[in-house]
Structures are given as structure tokens and as C-alpha cells.
Amino acid sequence: MANLVTILRIILTPLTVWLILISSPNRTDTGHLLALAYFLTAAATDFIDGQIARRTDTITEFGKVVDPFADRLLVIAVLVSLMIKDFLPIWMGVLIVTRDLLMLIGAPLIGINKQDIRDELAVHWTGKLATALLFVSICVFILFNTAGYVNPVGFYIFLVGVLFSYLSGYIYVMRGIRILRRKQGGMGDELS
């Protein structure tokens, strides 16, 4: 059941993007309200799928891989659509996309497909907080939009989200270095 909720998040992502792209660039209209509703539903599935999996003891390998992918897909796709509509400067979106791409490139280098390593790289609270802050800022950008204008409330929430996103990225990199050193027979535990 949890995996179906995760898949629902993936399905809602292109619908949210489409609604943002067809909406008015200078005022909140029905498209923006629907995009916000779809985005909030997709964001809620991030919490719901985890709760279902833990409470029913149905955590799967599929879920461990696809859930974080669905999160990143949602955030990146919506940020790109907001940049296309000029509700968000390109540099703001690039900060998040760059961090996510670095994590995506680094994961295979340390063998994230192996169960023991994936457990060691479990989501850190800073990553969860970053995602929550980015979700809130995206809601502000969708709802209070004008092309070429960045909502100041959304802007500051977004910046704090970026800081936590990079902090979590740093934590994951340090964990990855420790894993690589251990794989090479070195002593990497001092990076804990």
C-alpha cells in the first residue's frame, strides 16, 4: 500500500507542473489553486507512505529507493516549472538541482544499491527539514505569484531550506567518505 502512495506522488508531479505552466503569469487563477492542491496532495503522500510502511511493517526495497526519488522528482520538476514561469529566479532553482545531482552522482560511487550501505545513509533529519521548508516555499511561490517577482516570505523560507539541504548533503558526503574509507580498509570512523 505504501508503494502505491509513493507512485501516486510520481503521477501527481507532471499534473502539478502542467497546471503551473498553463496558469496566468500575473495573478492567482484556478490553475494555480489546482496546482497548489495537487502539490499539497503529492507532498502529503511523502508523509503518508512512510507512516503506512512503518505501521504495517511493510518497508520494501522498492520503497527505500523510489520514495526519495519521488521526493526529488517532485521538488525539481516544480522548481523548474516555477523558473519557466519566472516566479523563481534561475539561480534559486539551480542551488537545489545542483545539490540533488551531486547526491545522485555520488550514490553509485559508494555502492548505495547495497542494503548495509543504504541503511547507513538513511535520511537525516536535516534532509527532512530541508524538504519540508522547500515544500512550504514552493506553496508560497505557486499561490502568490507574479512573473518577475519573488515573494519575500517564500524567498526566506526557501533560503533556509537550501541551507538545510546543503547541510544534509554535507552529512551524506561525510558518511559516504567514511564508507569508502572502510571499503578500502582505511580508518574512516573518525568522521562520524
- Spatial distance between the Cα atoms of 115 and 60, rounded to a whole number of angstroms: 11
The answer to whether the pTM exceeds 0.75 is yes
Q: In the structure, what pLDDT confidence band is assigned to residue 108 with cuts at 50, 70 and 90?
A: low
Q: Is 174 in contact with 191 (CB distance < 8 Å)?
A: yes
Q: Quick one: pLDDT at residue 191?
A: 46
How far is residue 80's CA from residue 77's CA, in Å, rounded to a whole number?
Answer: 5
Look up residue 162 and give its three cell numbers.
Answer: 537550501
Residue 112, pLDDT above cutoff 70:
no
Exposed/middle/buried for residue 123 (C-beta within 10 Å: 0-12, 13-18, 19+):
middle
Q: Which domains does the chain have, with CATH numbers?
A: 2-191 (1.20.120)
Taking residues 57-71, report their average pLDDT: 81
Q: What percent of the chain has pLDDT over 70?
A: 86
* 38 vs 93, higher pLDDT: 38
**Which amino acid, 115?**
Q
pLDDT of residue 47: 83
- The number of angstroms, rounded, from the C-alpha of 97 to the middle of its chain's C-alpha atoms is 10
List C-alpha distances in Å: 8 to 40, 42, 74, 81, 189: 12, 7, 11, 19, 39
Q: Give yes or no for a contact between 142 and 36, defined as CB atoms under 8 angstroms apart.
A: yes
158: phi > 0 → left, psi -120 to 50 → alpha, else beta; which?
A: alpha
Q: Read off the pLDDT of residues 177-186 as tens digits, 9 standing for 90 and up.
A: 787 787 777 5
pLDDT computed for residue 12 by the predictor = 95
